[in-house]
Amino acid sequence: DVKVTQSSRYLVKRTGEKVFLECVQDMDHENMFWYRQDPGLGLRLIYFSYDVKMKEKGDIPEGYSVSREKKERFSLILESASTNQTSMYLCASSWEGGYTFGSGTRLTVV
Amino acid sequence: LAKTTQPISMDSYEGQEVNITCSHNNIATNDYITWYQQFPSQGPRFIIQGYKTKVTNEVASLFIPADRKSSTLSLPRVSLSDTAVYYCLVGDSGNTPLVFGKGTRLSVIA
């Protein structure tokens, strides 16, 4: 089974901190994605990447950046965390048959 | 990307068959239909994918009529553990980011 691992299950950070959310997949997938999920708003796409060092903006990229230095790793960066970035963050990698998601990181910015 | 419409919520008793219908009137020729299941505080999990007619796996069946403008996810003999949100998505098998709607919240009652 494909495994997508997100480094932290829960994180609490202070406003203004730089935050790194790490995601690693073990099946050599080229495509990787970052979503955030908020009550009533569903899953929204932040950034995605089709290959190493490539990145594309999703629907809500403001306040975020990403890094893909290696094929298996896709990092989401909050340059200066704000309280409105408190959310569940979900990483996924895709294959021909669909997406595999990680378990999510619940980030709280205080 | 084709937009999908599905019921916001459904209730069912344990042991019953549950059918969740999704409409996708603007589905493109190369689009597949994929269903995901999500439990609270977890990432969505792939259930089933199809292109046309009927697909069955150990978890569910997917019925797709000839015009492909809708699809029906069928869960046989649901149990309490099937209580979750079910998402219907349409896309070209992972090469284009999936757009998640609000999904259908299924509540299974004892």
Tell me: pLDDT of B55 over 90.
yes
With a cut of 70, say whether residue B85 has pLDDT above it: yes
pLDDT, mean over chain A: 93
Cβ of B93 within 8 Å of Cβ of A104? The answer is no
Mean pLDDT, rounded, for B104-109: 96
- Give me the phi and psi of A85, to 5 degrees please: -100, 5
Determine contact, residues A79/A63, Cβ cutoff 8 Å. Answer: yes
Question: Does residue B2 carry a pLDDT above 70?
Answer: no
Residue A42, pLDDT above cutoff 90: no
Find chain B residues with C-beta within 8 A of A101's C-beta: 43-45
Nearest to A32 by CA among B66, B98, B47, B75: B98
pLDDT above 60 (res B1): no
Q: To the nearest whole angstrom, how far is the Cα of B18 from the nearest Cα of chain A?
A: 23
Query: pLDDT band at A95, cuts 50/70/90?
Result: confident
Whether the per-residue pLDDT at A18 is higher than 80: the answer is yes
Query: Is the Cβ–Cβ distance between A87 and A34 less than 8 Å?
Result: no
Contacts of A91 in chain B (CB under 8 A): 43
- pLDDT of res. B110: 93
Helix, strand, coil shares, percent, chain B, to 5: 5, 50, 50
**B36, B42, B94: residue with CB nearest A96:** B94
* pLDDT on residue B30: 87
In this prediction, residue B3 carries a pLDDT of: 83
SS3 A85: helix
Q: Do B95 and A31 touch (CB under 8 A)?
A: yes
Looking at the complex, report in whole angstroms how far the Cα of residue B101 sits from the nearest Cα belonging to chain A.
6
